[in-house]
């Protein structure tokens, strides 16, 4: 997340973010359920105080044994009911947390798909992974502790206060005057906690990003002897995270003490007032004891909200990041409403003055036309912008100018509906070779998988062979051929009219390269529109058109 993205929702501190109800429908039923449970718990609390008062005063006044036993039996039932309601609240919270986590993760993945590769290219994938993983896992504390206590406060506190006022208005007034002290201090402490928690969360994201980048580039770092500096950098960020975590814990313990102290002092004031009036005979024992039993319960819910806020803070910070992504995707969807998504039947590609944006800069314009049954070769030295043109076609880079497929602006088309692409980075995932070749196909065709591998000169690889993270288990050349096979699979399966291959022969020997060129030519002869980037002069033999890009100064 960028600083701008993260800052907007965090400027406003709200007990419950309304976007939670918008993006996670499971939270709506959860609030209804815990609201009903909170009403029942409040009734049980009042009943418990009344029955206990009746039992104690009855024993003092010589209540008949049978009536006392009945009162104690009712008291036992209330105690059991309170335990059952507590279990029901925890069970409802656990189920709701699991459903909301699933809904938000799904929405986050969909939002990333909506925003597209261009947006994702400006973000750190490790930070997004931490947000979707550990961050959303922290919602369990948010739903299990904080939100139920918040609803309990909204429901129980005014009811208990009203009952106390009804029985003894002096005690009710005392609670009414002292109660605001707790939320006042809670807000002040919460602001400090939220700031520290945000710094801790951002440090964790930086740590994840730094670790992922270091692992990915470890071989390069080792060759240049920089692995120790990278390890020292990770150690430094880890130490920063430790310090931020200790700050969060320190504030959490101090705030817990402050809230407990305020509540204890407030209850003590009520108790002293009741004691003096009991001595004077101005207050009946049954009323005084009943009100005194209710006094701690009046302060408990709001006190617990402050305590549980710390446990939920990490989940709140993560949902801020998730909501920022979902808001961006929602705005993007509104802006792009009406975009076409149907499959492209022909695949006539036309680029006219396409200037790819790279940050605040723009590359020189590119124009070309390509149609079914042809191979269009894009060549030129490194840095001329060849791969950037492909990035624009697949939505991974913004551009000015016209880029159309069958007369439709490619920005209005989902790349998966018309384009099969293999880039210079294979982009393989954990799974079998067949699963990588048929990536995105819910019903893979084994015969087409083998045919795609054969055309990509990878028929020596067993489709059932398991690969590790990022295709671990294959050499660089093998991984590249599997990526080419994935693009060809989409074409053979009728899911793409245009095949775009970026340096497909970079890791091949001349004999295998010649075989690959024949395969690409056969794909074009079968009706595909092939866009090919290659620095090999041998690629010219299969090209119908050659578009040469020359290096040029990047223009603003």
**Which domains does the chain show, CATH number per domain?**
3-335 (1.20.1560.10), 349-548 (3.40.50.300)
- The predicted structure's pLDDT at residue 339: 46
Question: Nearest-CA neighbor of 258 among 187, 176, 154?
Answer: 187
pLDDT band at 523; cut points 50, 70, 90: very high
Question: Nearest-CA neighbor of 471 among 436, 503, 502, 505?
Answer: 436
Segment 509-516 shows an average pLDDT of: 89
Strands 374-379, 408-409: pairing is unpaired
Higher pLDDT, 1 or 95: 95
Alpha carbon 16 to its chain's center:
17
pLDDT band at 498; cut points 50, 70, 90: very high
- The predicted structure's pLDDT at residue 7: 39
Among the residue ranges 342-346, 477-481, 529-533, the one predicted with the least confidence is: 342-346
CA torsion sign for 415, 394, 411, 1 is positive
Question: Nearest-CA neighbor of 416 among 121, 112, 116, 123?
Answer: 116
Please state the pTM of the whole predicted model. 0.58
Segment 525-549 shows an average pLDDT of: 90
- The predicted structure's pLDDT at residue 40: 92
- The predicted structure's pLDDT at residue 554: 45
- Token look-up 């989940």 returns 315
Rounded Cα distance between 137 and 218, Å, is 29
Is 238's pLDDT higher than 50? yes
Among the residue ranges 182-191, 219-228, 246-255, 407-416, the one predicted with the least confidence is: 182-191
- The predicted structure's pLDDT at residue 280: 79
- The predicted structure's pLDDT at residue 215: 67
**Where is mean pLDDT largest: 222-236, 278-292, 537-551?**
537-551
Segment 365-384 shows an average pLDDT of: 88
- Token look-up 């909170």 returns 38
Question: Nearest-CA neighbor of 405 among 513, 497, 338?
Answer: 497
- The predicted structure's pLDDT at residue 544: 92
Rounded Cα distance between 420 and 427, Å, is 14
Is 10's pLDDT higher than 50? no
pLDDT band at 332; cut points 50, 70, 90: low
- The predicted structure's pLDDT at residue 500: 92
Rounded Cα distance between 194 and 198, Å, is 6
Is 298's pLDDT higher than 90? no
- The predicted structure's pLDDT at residue 15: 64
- Token look-up 């314009």 returns 365
Segment 312-333 shows an average pLDDT of: 72
Rounded Cα distance between 168 and 164, Å, is 6
- The predicted structure's pLDDT at residue 556: 41
- The predicted structure's pLDDT at residue 451: 93
**Where is mean pLDDT largest: 175-189, 322-336, 390-404, 522-536?**
522-536
- The predicted structure's pLDDT at residue 340: 46
Is 258's pLDDT higher than 80? no
Interval 37-76: pLDDT, tens: 989 999 999 999 898 888 888 888 777 888 888 888 888 9
* Other CB atoms within 10 A of residue 115 CB: 20
Burial 38-47 (b: 16+ CB within 10 A, else e): bebbbebbbb
Rounded Cα distance between 424 and 422, Å, is 7
DSSP 520: H
Is 521's pLDDT higher than 90? yes
Interval 401-419: pLDDT, tens: 898 888 888 888 878 788 8
Mean pLDDT score across all residues of the chain: 79
Is 6's pLDDT higher than 50? no
């Amino acid at each position: 997340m960028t600083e701008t993205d993260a800052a907007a929702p965090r400027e406003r501190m709200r007990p419950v973010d309304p976007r939670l109800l918008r993006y996670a429908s499971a939270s709506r039923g959860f609030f209804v359920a815990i609201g009903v449970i909170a009403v029942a718990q409040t009734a049980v609390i009042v009943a418990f105080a009344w029955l206990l008062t009746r039992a104690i005063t009855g024993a003092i006044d010589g209540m008949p044994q049978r009536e006392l036993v009945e009162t104690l039996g009712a008291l036992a039932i209330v105690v059991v009911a309170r335990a059952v309601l507590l279990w029901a609240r925890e069970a409802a919270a656990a189920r709701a947390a699991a459903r909301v986590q699933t809904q938000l993760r799904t929405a986050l993945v969909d939002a990333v798909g909506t925003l597209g590769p261009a947006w994702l290219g400006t973000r750190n994938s490790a930070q997004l992974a931490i947000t979707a993983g550990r961050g959303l896992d922290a919602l369990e504390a948010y739903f299990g502790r904080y939100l139920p206590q918040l609803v309990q406060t909204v429901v129980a506190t005014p009811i208990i206060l009203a009952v106390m006022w009804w029985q003894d208005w002096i005690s009710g007034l005392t609670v009414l005057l002292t109660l605001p002290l707790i939320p006042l201090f809670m807000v002040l402490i919460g602001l400090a906690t939220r700031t520290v928690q945000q710094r801790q969360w951002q440090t964790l994201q930086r740590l994840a990003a730094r670790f992922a980048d270091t692992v990915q580039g470890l071989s390069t770092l080792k060759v240049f002897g920089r692995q120790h500096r990278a390890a020292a950098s990770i150690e430094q960020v880890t130490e920063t995270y430790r310090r931020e975590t200790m700050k969060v814990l320190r504030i959490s313990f101090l705030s817990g003490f402050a809230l407990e102290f305020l509540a204890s002092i407030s209850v003590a004031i009520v108790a002293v007032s009741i004691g003096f009036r009991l001595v004077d005979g101005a207050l009946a024992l049954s009323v005084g004891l009943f009100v005194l039993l209710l006094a701690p319960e009046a302060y408990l819910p709001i006190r617990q909200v402050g305590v549980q806020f710390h446990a939920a803070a990490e989940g709140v910070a993560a949902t801020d990041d998730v909501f920022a992504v979902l808001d961006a995707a929602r705005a993007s969807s509104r802006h792009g409403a009406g975009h076409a998504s149907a499959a492209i039947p022909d695949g006539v590609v036309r680029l006219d003055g396409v200037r790819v944006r790279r940050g605040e800069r723009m590359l020189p314009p590119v124009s070309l036309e390509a149609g079914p049954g042809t191979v269009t070769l894009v060549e030129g030295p490194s840095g001329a912008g060849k791969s950037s043109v492909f990035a624009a076609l697949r939505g991974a880079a913004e551009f000015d100018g016209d880029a159309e497929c069958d007369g439709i602006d490619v920005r209005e088309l989902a790349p998966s509906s018309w384009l099969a692409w293999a880039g210079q980075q294979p982009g393989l995932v954990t799974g079998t070779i067949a699963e990588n070749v048929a990536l995105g196909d819910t019903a893979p065709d084994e015969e087409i998988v083998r045919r795609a591998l054969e055309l990509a000169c990878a028929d020596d690889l067993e489709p059932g062979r398991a690969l590790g993270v990022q295709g671990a288990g294959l050499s660089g050349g093998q991984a590249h051929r599997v990526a080419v096979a994935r693009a060809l699979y989409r074409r053979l399966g009728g899911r793409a009219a245009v095949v775009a291959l970026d340096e497909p022969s970079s890791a091949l020997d001349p004999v295998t390269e010649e075989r690959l060129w024949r395969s690409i030519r056969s794909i074009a002869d079968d009706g595909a529109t092939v866009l090919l980037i290659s620095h090999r002069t041998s690629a010219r033999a299969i090209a119908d058109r050659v578009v040469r890009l020359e290096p040029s100064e990047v223009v603003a």
